[in-house]
Amino acid sequence: MQIEFLRDRERAQVGQQLDSIKGVAVSASSTGSSDIAFGVLVVFDDSDAFLCKLPTSKAHLEKPLGITVRQLHCENYQPKSSILVLRKGRIWVEADKVESPGDPVYIKLAEDARASFSGVKSGNTMLKGAIFLEKSEGGKVPIEVNFFGGVA
């Protein structure tokens, strides 16, 4: 019988949905040759609407598909596998410093073409349809995304 609860347990895991508010998730297949982590941005592949890839340039950020959702049966998504992608909803991601809730989400493209989330505008590209839900000094932070049409 359990008589105490852990107090140092993590709030969430990257790629975990924040709450049970209705969201929209789709299944897509990766076209890349490398693993895809949970809680990262994937974009439409130009060849097919049911294929996705990791963004490697600013042009790719114009066609966001969504954020990869955590699964319990694996540690990441394998190359050429089916991926659960959140198109609309709230999800935990890893990000740089965020000043306040409601701030827009920016994508920082590194020299090796890896994309990461950031709350810093300078030198980064705004991810249309995404906002931060909490202030953060860096680390796990929830975002809300809506990658359907009509977002400014």
Q: What is the pLDDT of residues 66-103, one digit of tens each?
A: 999 999 888 999 998 999 999 999 999 999 999 999 99
- Supply the pLDDT for residue 20: 83
Q: What three-state secondary structure class fits 17?
A: strand
Structural domain containing residue 58: 24-146
- Is there a contact between 83 and 27 (Cβ–Cβ < 8 Å)? yes
Question: Do the domain assignments include residue 14?
Answer: no
Given a contact cutoff of 8 angstroms between Cβ atoms, the answer to whether 52 and 116 are in contact is no
Assess if residue 42 is contained within a domain.
Answer: yes
Q: What residues of the chain score a pLDDT lower than 50?
A: 150-152
For residue 23, give both structure tokens: 């969201």
Report the pLDDT value the prediction gives residue 117, as an integer from 0 to 100.
96
Let me know: does 39 contact 14? Beta carbons within 8 Å. Answer: yes
Kindly list the distances between the CA atom of residue 88 and the CA atoms of 47, 61, 112, 140, 143, in Å, as whole numbers in the listed order.
23, 16, 28, 19, 10
Q: Work out how many domains the chain is built from and give that number.
A: 1
Whether residue 31 lies inside any domain: the answer is yes
Q: Which of 136, 131, 122, 121 is nearest to 67 (CA)?
A: 131
pLDDT of residue 152: 43
Is 46 a domain residue?
yes
CATH of residue 74's domain is 2.40.300
- Asked if residue 131 belongs to a domain, the reply is yes
